Structure 1
Amino acid sequence: MLNTKFINKNVFKNTINLQSPRFKSVITTDYKLSSDILPKETSVLSLVQPSGTMHLGNYLGALSCWADLCKIKQYDTQDLIFGLADLHAITVPQPQGELFVKQRFDTLAYLIAFGVDPEKCNLYMQSDVREHTELAWYLSTITNISSLSRMTQWKAKSVSENNKTTNYQNSSSSLGLFSYPVLQAADVLIFKSEFVPVGEDQVQHLELTREIAEKFNNQFNCDILKIPKVLLTPTKKIYNLKNCEKKMSKSDPRPNAVLYLSDSNEDIRKKIRKATTDSITDKAFRFGPSERPGISNFINILAGIERKNILEVEDDIKDLRSHSEFKQYISEKIINWIEEPREKYHELISDPKYLREVALKGKIHAEKKAQETLRQVRDVMGFTNF
């Protein structure tokens, strides 16, 4: 049986309402995953875009959960498939040629260094498995445009930065960005994934994945496509250090707004020292996003890296009295946590042969599973060659 633990679904503002009946497939997790969360025979799939230098939000939003799943895996029949969503990445401009290759392998090195164990899971490049795109086309023929246009991420990303218009229907964004959720559905369904660990911002896309799978199975009178469940990662959205209304993102032009996993100890101290918090001096440091968003963001970060709940972190910091003392405490906690995996990353990135071997092993495994699912899909749709 799965452990399902109810949590406060509205910890941070601007999140979707997970208590809505529409999001019936969401299973919440906490920071101390029990081995019985995974059935003996199951498949888990999750991808991350290869952004090159990864930041703390990337890690806490997904990768920490991947690492935890690797630790609790007990059986070979528990198939963990994690990968780099490089096909999704090109929906916005990316470096070309060797620079993009380097960016992808940088991300792979970060995954392994920060706990995603290639001995316990399969790590692969999405573009190495062409079945993703073929299934995405088949699924696109049964997906309504109206469903895609309701996706909140599409609306946000398609807003024109030039004229600040909110009329996303007149956006010059690419078709790939618009149809992103269909490819994401193919990513999940091609492996018959039972569970998909993601953050809150991807739950709406996964609900669409379930709808697409159900529609396909009904239309072709089959049960080929498995209806997945969402494993909601426990860390809430990590916000920008200079603006707590914006998600932490490498696209931010301000160097002090983002904590990168490659930052030096001095960089970490400087960025946290200059981070926006508040001017409240007569209250203890407590988690309260509406009243103290900057402080709450740091408490959320601590909970993520220390694998503790919010109340435990609040207890740890109850004796801190000043903002400078609070920021110094946060800095040292992050530095102590990041030191070993950061060093491992540098070792891995200097061994491209090993990284290629990991990606090849993952490709072979992913390709085998994907080909079998696609064969079944083609058969039921009538594309069998006689």
Structure 2
Amino acid sequence: MQATQKTRVLTGITTTGTPHLGNYVGAIKPAIEASQDPNVQSFYFLADYHALIKCQDPERVQASRLEIAATWLALGLDTDNAIFYRQSDLIEVQELAWFLSCVCAKGLMNRAHAYKAAVAENEEAGNQDPDRGITMGLFGYPVLMAADILMFNAHKVPVGRDQIQHIEMARDMAGRFNHLFKGEYFTLPEAVVDQKVEVLKGLDGRKMSKSYNNTIPLFTPEKKLLKLVRKIKTNSLEPGEPKDPDGCTLFQIYSAFASDQDVAAMRQQYADGIGWGDAKNQLFDYLNTHLEAPRERYNALMEDPGYIESVLQKGAERAREQAAASMEKLRAAVGLGRFV
């Protein structure tokens, strides 16, 4: 009896910043849970080639790669089941990106949201050249993303709403390649947007994002964590006055980590008029307790980059084994196969 093929799920993590609470709730936690599902073949990669589009600070990119790898491992990523690797360790991805570039219409890239936004900024600024400051890395980003996905014929790609267009473009390139070279070389990937994934608010009440400089780093030391929690913006209601938990950043972050029972108890405290100082202290205590053990693992991993390197090399070997076999078929398909 033939074994059922596992569903292949692929997720990339751009290596330009330090992981924060919003990253954990929105992406890391659900992905790590998925990595432990024996019915799913998960691919998680550090998107360090993508990082070069936004960041030309080599020290920042290098530090971010280490921090992100340590974070995922500290939080329990199952690297025996999931394949965890660096994008830059798979040269085959770059080769596939070229193949896809040769079948991808330029007009398709002209419609990419990031490119259009950059052009619009130039036009608003009154620049005569609408492409001023726009690199080929930014323009061709969707092709590289398509190569990441199609290299492993991922069935599902968890993304935010702003990335759905890129999955549609990957489908377009895959279909075009299949049509031109008369074969089912690529699976058409499906974007998966989890409606339940919460977007955490940051210190100032806006979306938690490094772009706004309002984040709470996931493994910041205990004293710094307390200081950051106390900086979270609240209104001017006094202790004893009932407070609305819905729309409150403190309550939202607390709810993302606490049990249903504890959330219900905190909601009652808001109705009873909890003081903001007390609410912040309770949030700090909950976060600190929840993150204490993984923070210790993270710090230990950061002191042992050789171990992280060995895990990533092992993942790269597993990924490369599949990628090399795929590229051999694809080279033959386009006329670049061996003579004998």
Q: Give the TM bin, normalised by the shorter chain.
A: 0.7 to 0.9
Instruction: Indicate the residue corresponding to 1:148 in structure 2.
Output: 109
Deviation of 1:327 after TM superposition, in Å, equals: 3.0
- Kept in 1: contact 2:17–2:64 (CA 8 A): yes
Q: Which has the larger radius of gyration?
A: 2
Identical pairs, percent: 29
1:319 aligns to what? Answer: 269
Paired AA for residue 142 in structure 2: P
Shift of 1:382: 2.1
Q: Which residue of 2 aligns with 1:14?
A: none
One-letter amino acid of the structure 2 residue matched with residue 285 of structure 1: D
> Counterpart of 2:98?
137
In structure 1, which of residues 86, 104, 111 is the aligned counterpart of residue 48 of structure 2?
86
State the shift of 1:285 in Å. 2.8
- Counterpart in the other structure of 1:74: 38
Counting only pairs closer than 5 Å after superposition, residues 157-168 of structure 1 correspond to structure 2 as none
In structure 2, the gaps of 5 or more residues are: none
Mapped contact 1:84–1:126 kept (Cα < 8 A): yes
Deviation at 1:348, TM superposition (A): 0.9
Cα distance per residue 1:158-214 (max 9 Å; x no partner): 6659x8569993341211012111111110100111122223332222222222222
Which residue of structure 2 lines up, in the alignment, with residue 43 of structure 1? 8
| Aligned match of 1:265 | 222
Q: CA deviation at 1:128?
A: 0.6
The answer on whether the counterparts of 2:48 and 2:88 sit within 8 Å (CA) in structure 1 is: yes
Q: Structure 1: how far apart are the matches of 2:186 and 2:333?
A: 11
374-383 or 188-197, which deviates more: 374-383
Structure holding more helix per residue = 2
Partner of 2:130, secondary structure, is helix
Match of 2:307?
A: 354
Contact persistence 2:250–2:283 (CA under 8 A): yes
Contact 1:113 1:345 in 2 (8 A): yes
Give the deviation of 1:323 after TM superposition: 3.5
Deviation, structure 1 residue 132: 0.9
The match for 1:116 among 74, 77, 84 is 77
What's the counterpart of residue 331 of structure 1? 284
2:209 maps to which residue?
Answer: 249
- Structure 2 counterpart of 1:328, one-letter code: N
2:175 corresponds in structure 1 to: 214
Note the C-alpha offset of 1:48: 0.3
Residues 114, 138 of structure 2: 8 Å contact kept:
no
CA 336–168 in structure 1, closer or farther in 2 if over 3 Å, else same: farther
State the aligned residue count.
Answer: 330
CA contact (8 A) 1:52 1:103 kept: yes
Secondary structure in 2 aligned to 1:44? strand
Matched, 1:285 2:244: yes
1:278-299: per-residue Cα shift (whole Å, max 9, x none)?
4567664343xxxx4xx1x555
Residues 285 and 318, structure 1, Cα contact 8 Å, conserved in 2: no
The Cα shift of 1:306 comes to: 4.3
1:175 to 131, 136, 140: 136
Deviations 1:310-359 (A, max 9, x none): x9946742322243343333322222221111111011111222111101
Q: Structure 1 unaligned segments of length 5 or more: list them.
A: 1-38
In the superposition, the TM-score normalised over structure 2's length comes to: 0.85
The amino acid of 1:121's aligned partner reads A
Greater shift, 362-371 or 148-157, is seen at 148-157
Q: Is the 8 A contact 1:49 1:86 kept in 2?
A: yes
1:56 matched to which residue of 2?
A: 21
Contact 1:62/1:199, CA 8 A, preserved across alignment: no
CA contact (8 A) 1:159 1:168 kept: no
3-state SS of 2:100 partner: helix
Change (3 A) 1:331 1:207: farther
Runs of 4+ that moved beyond 6 A? 165-168
Residue 327 and residue 164 in structure 1: after superposition, are their counterparts in 2 closer, same or farther (change >3 A)?
farther
> What amino acid maps onto 1:301 in structure 2?
I
RMSD: 3.0
1:215 to partner: Cα distance: 2.3
* C-alpha distance 55-223 of structure 1, shift in aligned 2 (>3 A): same
**Structure 1 residues 108 and 236, CA gap change in structure 2 (3 angstroms):** same
Amino acid at match of 1:372: A
